A and B are shown apart, each in its own frame.
Chain A
């Protein structure tokens, strides 16, 4: 069974641009969460989607947004990129049957220059 797939793996963007990251969850999983990982702040929760609805949101500015499609695939968008947005962005999916089986993808490494 395929794991969580994140694309692209690496991305370099210029300050002020916007970026879209993609996450395809494990087949049958309906919950998708996004996390930002930086050396200074560690792993921080961005938001979680379930059946196309955002259920939870972390403490990030409005420049960070996301959505989930009917096939459970999710995208996150960051507008007006800042240098501090450089990070590893991780996506996790779970079936949501109470087994708390969060499975993470390999992440997208975003570098803002």
Chain B
């Protein structure tokens, strides 16, 4: 069985500061990992994904994440927060195409001016 843990249900950052959202997973097989963002009353938008290859993955809107197998982690970072980054972020894992995505509980990001 797979599971995803996101540390911190709420994170507050100042505009221009580093954004760091933590995600740890458990999976009995090599995982495929995703970060999604959700704005109010919207669906989920893919920020980035790790399937194979380079462990540092760059996504949209300046976000990146690093897959660390030894730490079973896939933390999301952005060097400089913008007001438009205020949203809820979800980490997800799956083990194969067509299999379900298992989501973490989400982290809501507040950006202070």
Q: Which residues of A contact B (CB under 8 A)?
A: 4, 6, 31, 33, 35, 42-43, 45, 48, 50, 55-56, 58, 90, 92, 94, 96, 98-107, 109
Contacts and interface: CB of A to CB of B under 8 A. Distances in A.
B105 A100 contact: no
Contacts of B44: 90, 92, 104
B45 interface: yes
Interface residues of B, number: 24
Interface of B: 32, 34, 36, 41-46, 49, 51, 90, 92, 94, 97-106
B43 A56 contact: no
Contacts of B36: 104
Nearest to A97: B97
A interface, over-half SS: strand
